[in-house]
């Protein structure tokens, strides 16, 4: 089956992530079947989807998309029997995942891809008890899956390469931004980056260096605004001025030795330097420093104005100084 021909998606697990996937696939116009061992699954899923639906309506539903196309099945086998694609979002407990994926593998039609929302287990570990492990992949979303585009796709040692590619194509066809991982690295990419920041935050709170509110403000009023549209590498490429990433690395290399976080830096070898320089040059895609600055500012203003508008609407007043985007003169 081609990814574009999928009609029915089965979602297994009715927690926040499972429910988010249900909302996403319903909004994209699919028939969705769902299952969870909890007795209140139907009620819980409807509540989760109804909370998400206004946002999805605002973004625009696919033709035919409807809440009525959700069927909560009484058994796992009934939920997945007719599925063209299966998204598993059970709790993050390895033993549970091992058994559940084996059960799914037995119940799902031949060749249909089964993706796990696991936020960290390598598929090689999870597919051990499956009879046909070649169609098992990781498809790790970010919360909420009905809005945040990122999905990290990875296979295990026994996964067929073409199934990994099929899953990536399928997610892209439903509006997702996909990273296909070459290596099975614990936590994948985004969670590793997020976890490094999170652990440093916990260290700072534990030592009394910063409060919870200061940590959150440090991100939302600072680098977080840029990260909504420009990743850390391209951000530092710009920090290097006209000299870009190469200048940044050469100039700030000593800072990597400074105790600015508890995370020790890697040795800045010539090879690592080159990878960073080549990678950011590709991302810059021929844009000059001035063009990148203009691009950044355009996006930054759009984000700040959009956030100010939401805050203004919520508070019933026009954007205030707290939004950081209004003008104020001396003595104003």
Interface residues for its own copies in 250-289 (CB under 8 A)? 255-256, 258-269, 271-272, 275-276, 278-280, 282-283
Q: Check if the beta carbon of residue 171 is closer than 8 Å to that of residue 141.
A: no
**Binding span for its own copies by CB under 8 A among 68-76, 100-108, 122-130, 318-326:** 318-326
**Is 303 among the residues that bind its own copies (CB under 8 A)?**
yes
**Is 63 among the residues that bind its own copies (CB under 8 A)?**
yes
Q: Which residues within the stretch 191-220 sit at the binding site for its own copies (CB under 8 A)?
A: 191-206, 208-220
Burial class (CB in 10 A: 0-12, 13-18, 19+), 191: middle
- Would you give the binding string for its own copies spanning residues 99-138, x where CB under 8 A is met? ---------------------x------------------
**Is 316 among the residues that bind its own copies (CB under 8 A)?**
no
Residues in the chain: 332
Give the 3-state secondary structure percentages of the chain, helix then strand then coil, rounded to 5: 55, 10, 35
State in angstroms the smallest separation of the CB of 135 from its own copies: 20
State in angstroms the smallest separation of the CB of 106 from its own copies: 26
Q: Which residues within the stretch 216-245 sit at the binding site for its own copies (CB under 8 A)?
A: 216-234, 236, 238-239, 241
Q: Which residues within the stretch 72-91 sit at the binding site for its own copies (CB under 8 A)?
A: none
**Between residues 109 and 294, which has the closer beta carbon with respect to its own copies?**
294
Secondary structure (DSSP) of 143-210: SSTTT--EEEEEE-TTS-HHHHHHHHHHHHHTT-EEEE-SS--TTTTHHHHHHHHHHHHHHHHHHTSS
**Between residues 35 and 142, which has the closer beta carbon with respect to its own copies?**
142
**Between residues 46 and 103, which has the closer beta carbon with respect to its own copies?**
46
> For residue 87, what is the enclosing H or E element?
strand 85-88
**Is 1 among the residues that bind its own copies (CB under 8 A)?**
no
Specify which residues 153 forms β-bridges with: 139, 180
State in angstroms the smallest separation of the CB of 301 from its own copies: 6
**CA atoms of 326 and 332, how far apart (whole Å):** 12
**CA atoms of 114 and 105, how far apart (whole Å):** 8
Cβ partners under 8 Å of residue 281, min gap 6: 244, 245
Q: How many residues bind its own copies (CB under 8 A)?
A: 146
């Amino acid at each position: 089956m081609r990814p574009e021909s999928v009609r029915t998606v089965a979602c297994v697990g009715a927690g926040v992530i499972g429910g988010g996937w249900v909302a996403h696939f319903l909004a994209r116009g699919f028939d969705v079947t769902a299952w969870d061992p909890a007795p209140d699954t139907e009620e819980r899923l409807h509540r989760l989807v109804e909370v998400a639906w206004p946002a999805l309506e605002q973004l625009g539903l696919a033709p035919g998309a409807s809440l009525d196309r959700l069927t909560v099945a009484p058994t796992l086998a009934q939920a997945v029997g007719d599925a063209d694609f299966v998204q598993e979002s059970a709790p993050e407990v390895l033993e549970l995942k091992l058994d559940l994926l084996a059960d799914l593998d037995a119940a799902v039609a031949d060749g249909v891809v089964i993706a796990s929302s696991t936020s960290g287990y390598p598929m090689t570990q999870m597919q051990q008890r499956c009879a046909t492990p070649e169609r098992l992949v990781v498809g790790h979303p970010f919360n909420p899956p009905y809005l945040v585009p990122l999905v990290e796709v990875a296979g295990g040692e026994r996964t067929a390469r073409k199934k990994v590619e099929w899953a990536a194509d399928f997610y892209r066809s439903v509006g997702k931004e996909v990273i296909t991982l070459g290596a099975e690295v614990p936590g994948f990419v985004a969670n590793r980056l997020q976890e490094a920041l999170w652990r440093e935050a916990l260290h700072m709170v534990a030592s009394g260096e910063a409060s919870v509110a200061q940590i959150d403000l440090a991100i939302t009023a600072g680098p977080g605004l840029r990260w909504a549209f420009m990743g850390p590498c391209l951000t530092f490429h710009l920090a290097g001025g006209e000299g870009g990433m190469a200048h940044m690395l050469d100039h700030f290399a000593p800072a990597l030795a400074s105790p600015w976080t508890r995370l020790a830096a890697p040795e800045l070898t010539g090879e690592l330097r080159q990878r960073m320089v080549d990678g950011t040059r590709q991302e810059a895609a021929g844009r000059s420093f001035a063009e990148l600055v203009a691009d950044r500012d355009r996006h930054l203003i759009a984000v700040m104005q959009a956030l100010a508008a939401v805050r203004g609407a919520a508070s019933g007043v026009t954007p205030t100084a707290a939004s950081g985007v209004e003008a104020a003169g001396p003595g104003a």
